[in-house]
A and B are shown apart, each in its own frame.
With several copies, the nearest count.
Chain A
Amino acid sequence: MAILVDKNSKVMVQGITGGAGKFHTERMLDYGTNIVGGVTPGKGGQAVCDRPVFDTVAECIEHTGADVSVVFLPAAAVKEAAIEAVRAGIKFLVVVPEHIPIHDMLRVREEAVKYKAAVIGGNTAGIITPGEANLGIMPDIAFAPGRVGTVSRSGSITYYVADTLSRTGYGESTCVGLGGDPVLGSTFNEILWMFEEDDKTKAVVLCGEIGGVYEEKATEIIPKMKTPVLAIIGGIFAPPGKRMGHAGAIVEGKMGTAKEKLDMLADSGAHPCKTFKDIPEILKKLGV
């Protein structure tokens, strides 16, 4: 098993006829991802990489049985595309574009919760279940099938962790990019819990970063997990970010510095890592 996607996932691509959509559809297919079709309104009836294109998500689902979608569209079009997908019944959505307006993502999150769908991104490198499916823009070279789950706010960190886990023989069950935007479709919490419930995942690496509040939120869930969690946070030596006005300070309090994030995670039971090579060392100690 894997979380969110595997070789049986039926994947559609929203924006499949666009430049990035075409390019990455080809790449994802090369990896063996089970892409069944795509959507571009007004281009129904065409084909990309031999996969049929539909005018709406509902039609694509009807004809292909798609249950997962990857979005390659301009940021301004993401809100409607995501709402269309979850309303039509897509249960997992990968939002690759960056610079999505924050109010749009708040709305997308609301709809996703309402329709019980999972969304990752915006600005995510995607998700990969090595050897089975690669959704998004992640470079397959770094990944090998295995027993560690990874969840990260940064694409590049994801690759380095994968590289490390592959080289040391652990490999990955699934690697999830939450995305780099300020408001994200999913937080660490939801993904951590999926890993907790996944038999194949023997440990999880959480890759966080200065700013935002999602690492702090994760400390609510880590103590409830049996699966060990390793945490690495970028920005320990970065100057602290600015608070947004008094309101930001009142709402988010002291959250946001990398050091505090790592300390809080450690306090909640996670194993802190400084650099990537700490990861296999800790895994070894834990007997993973």
Chain B
Amino acid sequence: MRLYEFEGKQLFRKSNIPVPEGHLVSSPAEAYNTVASLKHAVALKAQVLTGGRGKAGGVKLADGPNEAKTHAEQLFKLKIKGFPVERVLIEPKLDIKQEFYVGVTIDRANYKLVLIASGEGGVDIEETAEKHPEKIVRKSFSVEDELFTFDAVDIAKKIGVPGALLRKAAGIIVNLYKMFKVYDAKLVEINPLVLTAGDELIAADSRVSLDDDAVFRHADLKEMGIEKRHEEGEMTEREKRATEWGIPYLDLDGDIGMFPGGAGFGIMGNDFIHYYGGKPANFMDSGGGPSPERIAKMLVLLDENPNVKTIFGARFGGISRCDDFAKGVIMFLKEHGLSKPMVMRMTGNMWREGVRLFEEAKKEDPSLMEKVEFHGIETPIEEISKRAVELARQQGVK
């Protein structure tokens, strides 16, 4: 889960990494008042959960409160990669002599932590890495390894930190590495780490991503207002609703409602639809072992989506049981009703019980399943995919 710049800087401060004194404001008026109370030039920085802020005009400099207010008005109207700006961080304008880059992340292929540093910080660091790999210093660690000051001194020296500041820079690098471990991070970046005209080293920006699965063991995050959240991305209304219901869901621009079991086939099913000439209207994942209620809600999302012409259902019961799946589908059909055709396949754990439930429901109300084409293990999933594309076409023709 990605943190806002100001949140990342809270963690920096707690980890003894120097950051500028910041003020978070939510309106142009607040920006005016804040800058009026300060005696120095400031930077106004839009707080959004995405990169590319600078290029999108999300950072402005101001000499006084009036200018700050004008800039803030613009910033609060801005959308950066679709993200609205709701808060602006005001910090003293820095007199920059040099910019460094320091980051720590996980090298999954090799099961290591990697520290990366460069004497050429800033937004072009990836280009530097590609064109001048010699300007990037990398060091790998096992997850239990300590980073010692002497190694950090070596790294600081290699990226060109001046002698008198070597110890200070090494301290920042060590503290960043410790912070990465202490907070179960996936990524921590100081970019840029600024050397000011006054020979101070200061973290001018933060980029921090934590492991959502480890937030439970960091009670102090909650105290700082940092709670478990999804990765970046602006959500549609439907996505927000799905999130509230705890269903991983993403709108796409096609017309086939995807109702899969399992994240793996959730992704591959989309490919299948494409292969047979169709376009999915969404991604969806039921999560492991969904309850009948959740299954029903998944169908509500699709049925109420006007873009969806037909629904493609696929359930291979693993940890998720076919009986629970059948219960959920029946619950949906009874309480909500299906307004478009659905083709589905169900097999796997407890499939016999699932089939029995469908048969009983049909006996009770013969019209209940009339829009559902039901298949079992005997029909390959490719056939079901093809049929969904066909059904969508037929709907389009109508």
Determine whether the beta carbon of B268 is less than 8 Å from that of A234: yes
Determine whether the beta carbon of A42 is less than 8 Å from that of B163: yes
Contact string, A219-255, partner B, CB cutoff 8 A, digits 1/0? 0000000000000101111100010111111111001
Q: Which B positions have Cβ atoms within 8 angstroms of A? A: 51, 101, 103-109, 111-114, 116, 125-126, 129, 136, 138, 142-144, 148-150, 153-154, 157, 163-167, 170, 181, 184, 186-187, 189, 191, 207, 209, 211, 213-214, 216-217, 231-232, 260-268, 270-272, 274-275, 283, 288, 316-319, 347-349, 351, 377, 380-382, 385
Given contacts A156-B261, A245-B207, A245-B209, contact A58 B217 (CB under 8 A): no
Determine whether the beta carbon of B116 is less than 8 Å from that of A250: yes
Interface residue A41 (Cβ < 8 Å from any Cβ of B) = yes
Interface residue A160 (Cβ < 8 Å from any Cβ of B) = yes
Shortest CB-to-CB span from A255 to chain B, Å, is 8
Chain A's closest residue to B378 (CB) is A167
Q: Which of B142, B187, B268, B351 contacts A248 (CB 8 A)?
A: B187
Interface residue A163 (Cβ < 8 Å from any Cβ of B) = yes
Interface residue A264 (Cβ < 8 Å from any Cβ of B) = no
Interface residue A153 (Cβ < 8 Å from any Cβ of B) = yes
Segment among A1-9, A75-83, A192-200 that sits at the interface with chain B: A75-83
Determine whether the beta carbon of A245 is less than 8 Å from that of B262: no
Determine whether the beta carbon of A238 is less than 8 Å from that of B264: no
Determine whether the beta carbon of A159 is less than 8 Å from that of B103: no
Interface residue A172 (Cβ < 8 Å from any Cβ of B) = no
Determine whether the beta carbon of A245 is less than 8 Å from that of B163: no
Give 3 closest A-B pairs by Cβ, nearest first. Answer: A154-B264, A156-B262, A234-B268
Q: Apart from A55-B154, A232-B268, what 4 extra A-B contacts exist at CB < 8 Å? A: A80-B148, A142-B347, A156-B262, A247-B187
Given contacts A41-B170, A245-B209, A246-B191, contact A276 B267 (CB under 8 A): no
Determine whether the beta carbon of B271 is less than 8 Å from that of A217: no
Q: Which of A75, A109, A125, A255 contacts B319 (CB 8 A)?
A: A125
Given contacts A245-B187, A247-B103, contact A159 B348 (CB under 8 A): yes
Determine whether the beta carbon of A248 is less than 8 Å from that of B275: no
Chain B's closest residue to A167 (CB) is B380
Shortest CB-to-CB span from A268 to chain B, Å, is 15
Determine whether the beta carbon of A275 is less than 8 Å from that of B272: yes
Shortest CB-to-CB span from A247 to chain B, Å, is 4
Interface residue A212 (Cβ < 8 Å from any Cβ of B) = yes
Contact string, A244-280, partner B, CB cutoff 8 A, digits 1/0? 1111111110010010000000000000001111000
Determine whether the beta carbon of B109 is less than 8 Å from that of A142: no
Given contacts A58-B154, A101-B213, contact A245 B381 (CB under 8 A): no
Shortest CB-to-CB span from A137 to chain B, Å, is 4
Determine whether the beta carbon of A103 is less than 8 Å from that of B380: no
Determine whether the beta carbon of B154 is less than 8 Å from that of A137: no
Determine whether the beta carbon of B166 is less than 8 Å from that of A55: yes
Determine whether the beta carbon of A236 is less than 8 Å from that of B271: yes
Chain B's closest residue to A217 (CB) is B109
Interface residues of A in 133-188 (CB under 8 A from B): 137-139, 141-142, 152-160, 163-164, 167, 180, 182-183, 187
Determine whether the beta carbon of B319 is less than 8 Å from that of A238: no
Determine whether the beta carbon of B125 is less than 8 Å from that of A42: no
Interface residue A216 (Cβ < 8 Å from any Cβ of B) = yes
Interface residue A190 (Cβ < 8 Å from any Cβ of B) = no
Residues of B within 8 A of A65 (CB): none
Determine whether the beta carbon of B213 is less than 8 Å from that of A100: yes
Shortest CB-to-CB span from B121 to chain A, Å, is 10
Q: Which of B157, B260, B271 contacts A56 (CB 8 A)?
A: B157
Shortest CB-to-CB span from A25 to chain B, Å, is 14
Residues of A within 8 A of B136 (CB): 250
Given contacts A41-B166, A106-B106, A110-B144, contact A210 B267 (CB under 8 A): yes
Residues of B within 8 A of A20 (CB): 319
**A251 vs B182: C-alpha distance in the bound complex, in angstroms?**
21
Residues of A within 8 A of B209 (CB): 244-245
Q: Which of A41, A102, A182, A250 contacts B129 (CB 8 A)?
A: A250
Determine whether the beta carbon of B109 is less than 8 Å from that of A245: no
**A237 vs B380: C-alpha distance in the bound complex, in angstroms?**
21
Determine whether the beta carbon of A142 is less than 8 Å from that of B143: no
Interface residue A98 (Cβ < 8 Å from any Cβ of B) = yes
Interface residue A57 (Cβ < 8 Å from any Cβ of B) = yes
Residues of B within 8 A of A22 (CB): none
Determine whether the beta carbon of B184 is less than 8 Å from that of A247: no
Given contacts A101-B213, A159-B318, contact A182 B108 (CB under 8 A): yes
**A81 vs B166: C-alpha distance in the bound complex, in angstroms?**
16
Residues of B within 8 A of A156 (CB): 260-266, 316, 318
Interface residue A132 (Cβ < 8 Å from any Cβ of B) = no
Residues of B within 8 A of A207 (CB): 264
Determine whether the beta carbon of B163 is less than 8 Å from that of A55: yes
**A187 vs B111: C-alpha distance in the bound complex, in angstroms?**
11
Residues of A within 8 A of B191 (CB): 246
Chain A's closest residue to B180 (CB) is A103
**A42 vs B113: C-alpha distance in the bound complex, in angstroms?**
27
**A275 vs B214: C-alpha distance in the bound complex, in angstroms?**
36
Residues of A within 8 A of B318 (CB): 125, 137-139, 155-156, 159
Determine whether the beta carbon of A101 is less than 8 Å from that of B106: no
Determine whether the beta carbon of B103 is less than 8 Å from that of A246: yes
Q: Which of A76, A137, A274 has the most C-beta atoms of chain B within 10 angstroms of its own C-beta?
A: A137
Given contacts A245-B105, A247-B103, contact A163 B267 (CB under 8 A): no
Residues of B within 8 A of A57 (CB): 150
Residues of A within 8 A of B232 (CB): 242
Chain A's closest residue to B315 (CB) is A156
Interface residue A43 (Cβ < 8 Å from any Cβ of B) = yes
